[in-house]
Amino acid sequence: MTAVAASLAAADGTRMLAELASGALTAVELLERHLALLDGPGAALGAVVDTDREGARAAAVAVDAARDAGRPLGPLAGLPVTIKDAFDAKGMRTSHGRLSDAHQATEDAPLVRRLREAGAIVVGKTNVPVYLADHQSTNDDFGHTRNPFDPARSPGGSSGGAAAAVAAGLAVGDFGSDLSGSLRVPAAWCGLFGHRPSNGIVSKLGHLPWPRGGLLEPRVSAVGPMTRSAADSARFLDVLAGAEGLDAYAWRLELPPARVDALAGTRVAVWLDDAACPVDKETVAAIRAFADALAEAGADVEELTDPPVRGEEAIELFIRLQAGEVVHGLDDEACVRSAALVDAPGRAGAMARGHLQSLRAALDDFEAQRQIAARWAEVHERYHVVLCPAAPCAAPPYSEVPAESRLLTLDGVEVPAADTVGAWSRISSVGGGPATVVPLGAGATSGLPIGAQLLGRYLDDRTPLRVAALAEEAGLIRFTAPKGW
């Protein structure tokens, strides 16, 4: 029995690849261990909503045969992965949280195709909220997904099924689409590493709720890996990043190398204060402790006193950009519901007005977004990464209250959950740059995972990923498997 067999959640993909390469483990054995966990204790999580066991087993047999024959193998050969249900994976159902408009995928989304070409074994699909529009991953057709650290709590959304599956060891990795925190919040709440790439470097074609068969890539959202190590996140990004669709005829992506090779001398700015983005004391304390540890390791750590984005103005710009993206995938019924909210107060009304804005207004917002990206580039001339919250608090208990009316309690103060959970994700990604989520360990008060973001310059994805890997190697951060997994 190998060390991997003792606890799948306690091993990352990099370690599993080493065991596969050494012959200590076969791809078939590794897959069967994942399937046994999925069908056993993993079933209670409600994370996986569809599987392709026959296809996965055939793929695992093919990996082992290629290895035995000495044929070249892909960089992910033999690693079992799951796929967020909103992405097409041939042979499995695709949904955005409901059966009424689900479909059976007849071809892979580019993301899934790249994973298969790299040798990954696609096991199943993971749960999402309806329209991917909640920080709880629950719906009437597929049920609750539970957080493996505490089944009474949310694993996040919309990639909550993905995060729960990876944290519990049901998959080596999964892939969160992230508009306003749908990757970063679940990664933080489930104690994972994750990487929201720079806009546009990983394709979102073949992803609901956008129209099927479309060729338009989104301008604001991104999709990236959630894993149990920084090394795994970097490994998956290398496979996923690149031109797709019509652009692939000529365009090629060449991300620059990381700008750091040691924690000593790494320039880190800490950004914790924005009136539109409340955060609780437990999370602030965890991030401060990580910043102090980085400083003790030789990093140059300062406060960020001049962020390129501030307050409600930045949040409202993001909401308009978000609205301009998601309206493309709304059906007629959803558009009618949105139109009825144009006079509503707060961010719900701002989103509805964004759905109906003029083309001229949308183009003005695109220009504002580019200007902010330019200002972030200036910040990153001074700092390699910016450290900030990934979520305002640890995972909250599940609530039966509708998302638009739900409240979140931060240090005894109730705030609107819909406005607050994704606030740091919204404000930090207006400029389209990368964000690497890092697990900071259990909060001092809740005992639940706390996460942070390392922000990088647009297209400088390798730098925050490298800082995360260096901090992990130094023992400053790590994924800790949930008790019992």
- Report, as residue numbers or ranges, the catalytic residues: 84, 158, 182
Please return the burial class of 238, using the count of CB atoms within 10 Å of its CB with bins 0-12, 13-18 and 19+.
middle
Q: Could you tell me if 147 and 47 are in contact, meaning their C-beta atoms sit under 8 angstroms apart?
A: no
Backbone angles phi, psi at 388, to 5 degrees: -150, 170
Q: CA neighbours within 13 Å on the CB side: how many for 407?
A: 7
Dihedral sign (CA 194, 198, 204, 207): positive
For helices 346-355 and 332-339, the axis angle rounded to 10 degrees is: 130
Residue among 212, 188, 170, 179 nearest 83 (CA): 170
**Separation of alpha carbons 143 and 467, rounded Å:** 37
**DSSP H or E stretch at residue 68:** helix 53-68
**DSSP string across 290-304:** HHHHHHHTT-EEEE-
Cβ atoms within 10 Å of 453's Cβ, excluding its own: 30
**Separation of alpha carbons 104 and 91, rounded Å:** 7
Q: Could you tell me if 31 and 56 are in contact, meaning their C-beta atoms sit under 8 angstroms apart?
A: yes
Q: CA neighbours within 13 Å on the CB side: how many for 301?
A: 20
Q: Could you tell me if 269 and 287 are in contact, meaning their C-beta atoms sit under 8 angstroms apart?
A: no
Residues whose CB falls within 8 Å of the CB of residue 107, separated by 6 or more in sequence, listed in order: 88, 90, 206
What are the structure tokens assigned to 238, written together?
């290398």
Residue among 2, 169, 181 nearest 81 (CA): 169
Q: Could you tell me if 12 and 227 are in contact, meaning their C-beta atoms sit under 8 angstroms apart?
A: yes
